Chain A
Amino acid sequence: MTTEALSLPARPSPRKAARRKEGNAGPVFVVVLAIVALWYTGTILMNWQGTADAFARAGEARSTSEILLATMEQERPMLPAPHQVFAELKKTTIDTPVTSRRSLLYHAWVTLSSTLLGFGLGVLLGSVLAVSIVHVKTLERSLMPWIISSQTIPILAIAPIIIVVLGSIGITGLFPKAIISAYLCFFPITISMVKGLTSPDPMQRDLMRTYSASLAQTFWKLRLPASLPYLFTGLKIAVAISLVGAIVGELPTGAQAGLGARLLAGSYYGQTIQIWAALFGAALLASLLVALVGLAERFLSRSMGARPA
């Protein structure tokens, strides 16, 4: 097994990325428009039967155009129309006070806090593992294969056990969910950091030796700065998985609070609009977190004097 299990996309240089973004804005816009159009078509097609049946049951004869409009105003549609989802998002974020249990922001905060705690733990664990793997040969040869093969097992399946076991010895709330997140996100961090810490070539390491630099000095002045680009690619993957871990961790606790709980409650009571709103909330949160890591990367690499490529 190789470390390729984790895809570490090559880092495009900022200028090239900016140029590509400009060039892609048009096509992306068109594709997004096409998706929205498809979505509306899907809404009409999937809700048609239910809407027509509802009118027939009420004994009202409606024209085709009236049914068409009604497919987008269903209470519990098979597929809610985009504007319904956004109305729900607006209702549960702006129109509801943040402290209310009906507020999506409240649930997002619950998920976010365990995501961040888990991410922090994962970064700690992942970087400690990476540093020791790079420096201790025994660990590299004995631990590394197990770290990699630990990812071929579905870690998320352990989520309910961790929740229940920790719950039975009195640890509930934030911590068990954070452990799941940490377990999921230590892997990309370890792999990318090991890759980064070993990225300085022998010539550079030899140069450090001719300066008679100590192991610590080589680490802080050469290995760590060289590992930053790799580390941040890993961190972006890790923060996204950490959110997934937190959401899945909320499922077995029986839907108390959090985005995962909103998903589960929505599926129990057939509240499709609520599911979609929670899904969009999770997507927004994920892109926000990844963007924050990207921002931190830009700031840190500039302050460490990285050359703008």
Chain B
Amino acid sequence: MNASSRAIVLTPLVFLGCLYALNLVHSPAVTGQAGLGFWCFIAFLWLASIVALSGLSHLSPKSATLRRLVGLSVPVLFGAFLFFLWEVIVVGAGVPSVLMPAPSAIGSRFAASLPVLRDDFVQTFVKSVLSGYVIGCLSGFVVAIIADRVPFLRRGLLPLGNFVAALPVIGIAPIMVMWFGFDWPSKAAVVVVMTFFPMLVNTVTGLSAAGRLERDLMHSYAAGYWTTLVKLRLPAALPFIFNALKINSTLALIGAIVAEFFGTPIVGMGFRISIEVARMSLDMVWAEIALAAIAGSIFYGFVALVERGATFWHPSYRT
């Protein structure tokens, strides 16, 4: 039997086995006191899934859509299996929920506390992260343009920007809370400072990405500084700018959540995490983290999607 047929036969079998194990582990006889036989079954499923996945990842079908489907299914199945292991081990071994709640418990808690999560999301993501992200990225961009216009400033700012990028900028959070109060403006200010420097450094680097030849061509067209900037150098800088936007999308969320550890009104994702940890209700904390993960991934994915549309000409998107 070759690898491809092995994968095709094994994958549905492993899937059914996982469903059966999930069903079994939640039955009262097994929950918290799973026997040796159960763990042997799980270990067997594990081995089978490794064989199935390695078979799948060596598949290379002829049609492009099928190939893409297989390429997508490998990481998805792998992730699903990790969640399955988490659930089965936590429930089967009866790990107390103050240590590690099961994914199903987190999911039900998530569904049960949607209003709270929505309020936290609005406070942290919509108010702090988005406003700080927009202000930080815009001001980084504008300063980069100014620095590009004034070479002296560029030579002075760029090494400093690179230096600041290595510093623990998150430490300014208590100062910002002191200056701008407990509510969202202080978190937005932290996000502004965190997102400013990556944008500045990347845009300045990107503006020098246009080649000598293209610039000479613009010069021979008698194009002025601004025409060259808009028609040639900014488009050429777009990959760098989007790189900064993507880095910043993660940084912004981290900055806002950590800044909330230093003092907040009684709403917000960072506030909820720190208060629920103190009350030992870890399923709520994990629900909050799941929310942050979903928000972060969607944010990142959105920026990546816009990038794909805006820089369709870039080699990394041409097939």
Which residues of A are interface residues toward B (Cβ below 8 A)?
A: 1-2, 4-7, 9, 21, 23-24, 27-32, 78, 137-138, 140-146, 149, 151-158, 160-161, 164-165, 168-169, 236-237, 240, 243-244, 247-248, 251-252, 259, 263-264, 266-267, 270, 272, 275-276, 278-279, 282-283, 286-287, 290
Contacts and interface: CB of A to CB of B under 8 A. Distances in A.
Given A141-B75, A164-B277, A267-B263, A287 B171 contact: no
A78 B178 contact: yes
Interface in B255-277: 257-258, 261-263, 269-270, 273-274, 277
B43 interface: no
Contacts of A5: 246-247, 250, 300
14 contacts: A1-B301, A5-B247, A30-B156, A138-B53, A138-B57, A140-B57, A146-B78, A152-B296, A157-B273, A161-B277, A168-B280, A264-B174, A279-B171, A290-B166
Interface stretch (B22-30, B219-227, B285-293): B285-293
Given A7-B202, A161-B273, 13 more contacts: A28-B155, A29-B156, A138-B57, A141-B71, A153-B289, A154-B293, A156-B257, A247-B171, A267-B174, A275-B174, A279-B175, A282-B167, A283-B168
Interface residues of B, number: 73
B232 interface: no
A272 B156 contact: no
A177 to B, nearest CB: 14
B98 interface: yes
Interface of B: 50, 53-54, 57-58, 71, 74-75, 77-79, 82, 98-100, 152-160, 163, 166-168, 170-175, 177-179, 198, 202, 205, 243-244, 246-247, 249-250, 253-254, 257-258, 261-263, 269-270, 273-274, 277, 280, 282, 285-286, 288-289, 292-293, 296-297, 299-301, 304, 316
A141 B170 CA distance: 34
Contacts of A164: 277, 280
A264 B253 contact: no
B153 to A, nearest CB: 7
Contacts of A259: 171
Nearest to A33: B156
A252 B179 contact: no
Most buried by A among B82, B174, B244, B282: B174
Contact of A266 (B77, B78, B174, B301): B174
B167 A142 contact: no
A141 B57 contact: yes
A23 B296 contact: no
A287 B163 CA distance: 8
